Amino acid sequence: MTALSLQGDLWMDDACLIRNLELEMPAGQWSCLLGISGIGKSTIARLIAGLPGPHRLDGLLKASDGFLLAGRVALMAQEGQLLPWADLVQNVTIGARLRGVRPDAALARELLSQVGLAGLEARRPTELSGGQCQRVALARILIEDSPVVVLDEPFSALDTATRLAMQDLAAQVLRGRTVILITHDPLEALRLSDRAWLLGPDGADGLGLPNAVPPRDYRAPDTLAAQATLLARLHRPVDTRCAG
């Protein structure tokens, strides 16, 4: 299993987003990044996933095993980024086909069944609900078998009941992987995280989490109390200028 360490200043073009960022993301656990819009959560997701762009880290991002992260990170975004013209098996196996490798259709069907989509393999994304589309995206993550998974607001467009169900499913099927969850939702962070931080222009503050093992019961008094505390912190006025 692979732990991640990130230290330094996060930039977007000539604008500093976060100074003195320090994150230690344990192997085989869920690490959550929470914060206001524009603070740099998705920028960190893109950085870890190795995606190009105007962002940069003046510092160091490294894996605990000493190997490069390139090719070992799977990214699941809010939109799912499914191909509307392709059936579900083709969508799940798109990575193999892009690499010029023979796709494993049998494994794709098995994973679709694992995420609750058995019997729907021949459908197109336009024939599915939003929650079902995110299940396809989750199966596509699983077939890549990457040790590190980045979830960038993957369930934010779903209704509350579907979002809770997808959180439980993701916690189940991604168990044992190093997961970085980007979210605006305090309850989602509190339900799923083994470690969590609130991002601000001057770094990352570690959050206290309920003692229960994730995924935590959203009805539990400890979870509700932690959610109220975190909401109060998020509603405070924030100076979004990066100290320099």
Amino acid at 142: L
Q: pTM higher than 0.75, yes or no?
A: yes
Residue 172 lies in a domain: yes
Residue 96 lies in a domain: no
What's the burial of 157, exposed, middle or buried (CB within 10 Å: 0-12/13-18/19+)? middle
Residue 150, pLDDT score:
96
In whole angstroms, how far apart are CA 158 and each of 66, 80, 119, 132, 133? 37, 12, 22, 10, 10
Peptide bond preceding 103 in cis form (omega within 30 of 0)? no
Which tokens belong to 173?
């099927």
User: Could you tell me the residue range of the domain that residue 44 belongs to?
Assistant: 4-72+146-234
pLDDT digits (tens, 9 = 90+) for 165-192: 999 999 999 999 999 999 999 999 999 9
- 98 contact partners, CB below 8 Å, separation of at least 6: none
Residue 77, pLDDT score:
83
Quote the CA–CA distance of 241 and 81 in Å, as a whole number: 32
Residue 233, pLDDT score:
84
Residue 239 lies in a domain: no
The 10 Å Cβ neighbour count of residue 129 is: 11
pLDDT < 50 positions in the chain: none
Residue 219 lies in a domain: yes
Residue 37, pLDDT score:
87
Residue 66, pLDDT score:
87
Residue 176 lies in a domain: yes
Residue 156, pLDDT score:
87
Residue 92 lies in a domain: no
How many distinct structural domains can be found in the chain? 1
Q: Specify the CATH number for the domain of residue 209.
A: 3.40.50.300
Residue 173 lies in a domain: yes
Residue 174 lies in a domain: yes
Residue 239, pLDDT score:
54
